Amino acid sequence: MTHFKSNLRDIQFNLFEYGKLQGVLGQGRFADMDEDTARSVIAEVDKLARGVIADSFEPGDREPLQLHDGNVTLPPAIRTAIDAFYEGGWQALELPSHLGGVGAPPSVRWASLELVCGASPAVAFYLFGSFIATIIDALGTESQKARYVEQMLQKRWGGTMVLTEPDAGSDVGAGRSKAVHVKDDVWEIEGTKRFITNGDFDGPDNIVHLVLARPEGAVAGTKGLSLFIVPKFWVNEDGSLGERNGVFVTGIEKKMGLSASATCELTMGGDVPCRGLLVGEVHDGIRQMFRVIEHARMFIGLKSMSTASTGYLNALEYAKERVQGADMKQMADKTAPRVRIIEHPDVRRTLMLQKAHVEGMRALTYYGARIQDDIAQLTADPNHSHEALQELERRSDLLLPLIKGYNSEKAYELLSVSLQTFGGSGYCKDYPIEQYIRDQKIDTLYEGTTHIQSQDLVFRKIARDGGATLRGLLSDAQALLKEERGGPAFANERALLGEALGTVQQMLMACMAFMKESIYLIGLNANRMLESVAEVVIAYLLVDQAILAAASLDGANEADAAFYKGKVASARYFTREVLPELSVRLKQLKATDLSLMDLDEAAF
């Protein structure tokens, strides 16, 4: 049986019942996809994910990557899964219609990717080439687009984002890779990059790297960086493949997990010149690359949520089957019958802890995806309101560090709880949980660590407009408190949500005061802000969904009734058990001083 357990029912609920995706299908940019097609697409990807893609999960971990002469060879099961995805034509979900896409909204694309990520995250990374093609199509010159885009899509070329350098790490602006102008848009690039996901792999004829480097004479920091198209094999002006370009894999990182994803050291230049094309002939590298970075951050948040989801569902299945111990009420009776562990109070508590958080993280992620749907639809309308578009884009920007930062941190905690359900067996490779933990931990680290996400949230997403975007987001939750939907049955949940909203507002005011006093005080509390804002938004979404679920119980079949009751239970658990923690964080935040920063290093 496959390790991967998808939650297709909750995906459908978020898309169609709560997200009302059908409201944008069949019109504008999404004219070619209706609800039946969207549901069918997700169901078919689910079958693929639970089949050949899930089959690659364990072999990818057990069979090491091979590096010979700068070329990486994948485990056969990973290669088979990648081929199956492309042979099914599923890359078309990611493409705009003018590139052969099927007109799928972002939320449908993300839903499909959730399934692939949960089944085998390494496989999902190797599908990045299609997205890189869309970036070149959006930013490149006509010549560059003609040279690369169609070939990348038709021939399934790989694609990477190349930022990090050994000495710079997350400080991208400290990168030393340099670019020397040759002629027209051709440059020669020298430098070494590290932690490059899927920097090379066998299968495609070519791999296209998007590389940040500093042209000679450019200013220091991120503003001096430019973006270059750097292929493994040079692409001639007529589109034919030329000689081997001077970008080589000089090492594969030995990681604790996600072993099937080739995390590479790339060396550019040296004995063989490394040539690249300046993207769009515009020296605007970091802004251009942020299109890729933001996509990657959403991807990582989705990946974490998906892994936590299958971890929970594996634990749930085990708890329903594993018989151990007597019922707690009969512990003193040595002859009492043994019961399944799901009948023990603490196991039920930990299962609901996982369920509520996973459903909350999915709600948060799909809420962000739904806003992306609206942005795409609005930009396709030539008469769109600039103010409306700006408001949506700012809300989307605000949600991104929450999705990436909160989901990646919380998923790691939850997977440890999933493992605990299995007892000692969970620590063994007989079950997938230990690999889930190893494969997921990286999510808190790359594409910006959690603290980088927290700083982004506080300084760029909240402070830049005086907290207006955050207040707009929280106003939706405030409005829920005043509504009559659900009646008195949800009075307690509304009250707890109201208290949490007040707590977050106090935390925000304290942080604004910190900015005037010392920036260090923000640094000491930014993670608390991210976690608290994420949890109050999740609580709002869970309560809103629970009210809808409760209203849907009348006339529901047995399976749907159980699902809806579960949605109500998740909201009640989260508001009762999670939201009170915000008041503790507020006390910690208000008590923060600079003594830690003043402490002599020798005392650590």
Give the domain-ending residue among 247, 264, 283. 283
Q: Is residue 134 part of a domain?
A: no
The predicted-structure confidence for 86-134, as pLDDT tens digits, reads as follows 999 999 999 999 999 998 999 999 999 999 999 999 999 999 999 999 9
Residues 504 and 427 in one domain: no
Q: Is residue 147 part of a domain?
A: no
Q: What domain range is 18 assigned to?
A: 8-127
3-class DSSP state of 322: coil
Q: Is residue 3 part of a domain?
A: no
Residues 193 and 264 in one domain: yes
Residues 111 and 224 in one domain: no
Residues 539 and 585 in one domain: yes
Specify which residues 161 forms β-bridges with.
210
pLDDT confidence of residue 295: 97
3-class DSSP state of 215: strand
3-class DSSP state of 300: helix
Residues 82 and 116 in one domain: yes
Give mean pLDDT, residues 276-289.
Answer: 96
Asked if pLDDT for residue 477 goes beyond 90, the answer is yes
Residues 322 and 334 in one domain: yes
CATH number of 180's domain: 2.40.110.10
Give how many domains the chain has, as a whole number. 4
pLDDT confidence of residue 1: 72
Please report, rounded to a whole number, the percentage of residues in the chain having pLDDT higher than 90. 94
Residues 268 and 343 in one domain: no
Contacts (Cβ under 8 Å, ≥6 apart) of 84? 48, 52, 53
Residues 302 and 430 in one domain: yes
Residues 404 and 301 in one domain: yes
Give the domain-ending residue among 387, 417, 448. 448
Strands 186-197 and 178-183: antiparallel
Q: Is residue 138 part of a domain?
A: no
Give mean pLDDT, residues 43-47.
Answer: 98
Contacts (Cβ under 8 Å, ≥6 apart) of 225? 172, 173, 175, 212, 213, 214, 218, 285, 286, 289
Contact, 234 vs 242, CB < 8 A? yes
Contacts (Cβ under 8 Å, ≥6 apart) of 154? none
Give the domain-ending residue among 259, 283, 307. 283
- pLDDT confidence of 168, banded at 50, 70, 90? confident
| Span of 44-58, 165-179, 208-222, 299-313 with lowest mean pLDDT | 165-179
Q: Is residue 149 part of a domain?
A: no
Residues 236 and 253 in one domain: yes
Residues 369 and 388 in one domain: yes
Q: Is residue 369 part of a domain?
A: yes
Residues 588 and 484 in one domain: yes
Q: Is residue 269 part of a domain?
A: yes
Q: Is residue 426 part of a domain?
A: yes
Q: Tokens 């196991």, residue?
A: 347
Active site residues: 447
Q: What mean pLDDT, rounded, does the chain reach?
A: 96
pLDDT confidence of residue 520: 97
